[in-house]
Amino acid sequence: MSVLKVSNLSKTFGGIRAVTDVNLSIEKGEIIGLIGPNGAGKTTFFNLLTGIYNPTSGEVVYDLNRIISTRDLKPYKITHYGIARTFQNIRLFQNMSVLDNVLMGFHNGLKYGIASALFKLPSYYKTEKNTFEEACVLLDKFNLLDKKDEISKNLSYGDQRRLEIARALAAKPKLLLLDEPAAGMNPKETKELKELITWIREAFELTVIVIEHDMSLVMEICERIFVFDYGILIANGTPEEIQRDERVIKAYLGGEEQC
């Protein structure tokens, strides 16, 4: 079975049809791009995938160790199911250190109980030490270890975006949803981000869905691309197929011939 199967999914806000009758499925290990003009319904689709919105109709089913369907989807539960996401507007704990942000990401997976923490039993110290070491390894991979004690809001925009991904990975997800990870990045940072996403897919055995306006990122690292326009999934294919698709050229690229 697919990691994710979406059937006839729709969401309306009053008279606005943000997502209309979307059907798609995603296989384990894919990097999927989600593109479309502003207001096409991409973020609404992510919010439906993560239980922030209930669908007006249709269904979302995950196969991640266990089957999770629409009624199980609650924003506070998705980390436990193995789903992590980043946001269009960076949502770090701005006044906490870089290290503490990543430690927070590990929080859901910590194994010691309240008694261990309250009475500072050996299991508490062992778990804390292991978590600290794991966080440092993660930060090292993201080139953020030398900044671990800096306050997050003082990082460059590119570093903040990478920290948000590192924190998401600390929860040990199987599926990672990235909402415009390259937004605000310069070309050098975007190039590094492409390599980072490709690397984390392998290293963490992830399936990745990325919403992105940066066409170079989407075309270079995604195996398949879904194109939304006015809430409708108008195309689904490889980067080459998407670049040739007449509906995409017309609807998304305003009639231009190249992506």
Ligand X SMILES: Nc1ncnc2c1ncn2[C@@H]1O[C@H](COP(=O)(O)OP(=O)(O)OP(=O)(O)O)[C@@H](O)[C@H]1O
Contact footprint for ligand X (CB under 6 A):
13, 16, 18, 36, 38-44
Q: Based on CB atoms, which residue is closest to ligand X, 44 or 101?
A: 44
Which residues touch 47 (CB under 8 Å, ≥6 apart)?
53
Judge contact between 75 and 50, C-beta under 8 A. yes
63-80 burial, b for 16+ CB within 10 Å, e for fewer? ebeeebebeebeeeebbe
Nearer to ligand X, 15 or 122 (CB): 15
Min dist CB 46 to ligand X, Å, is: 8
The 16-26 sheet, strands edge to edge: 16-26, 4-13, 57-64, 66-69
Q: How far is the CB of 13 from ligand X (least distance, A)?
A: 3
Instruction: Characterize 131-170 residue by residue with b for buried, 16 or more Cβ atoms within 10 angstroms of its Cβ, and e for exposed.
Output: beebbeebbebbebeebbeeebeebeebbbbbbbbbbbbb
**Nearest CB to ligand X, comparing residues 56 and 243:** 56
Q: Residue 98 CB, nearest distance to ligand X (Å)? A: 27
Residue closer to ligand X, measured from CB, 21 or 128: 21
Q: What is the nearest approach in angstroms of ligand X to the Cβ of residue 228? A: 6
Cβ of residue 218: shortest distance to ligand X, in angstroms? 13
3 state DSSP class of 219 = helix
Is the Cβ of residue 12 or residue 198 nearer to ligand X in the bound state? Answer: 12
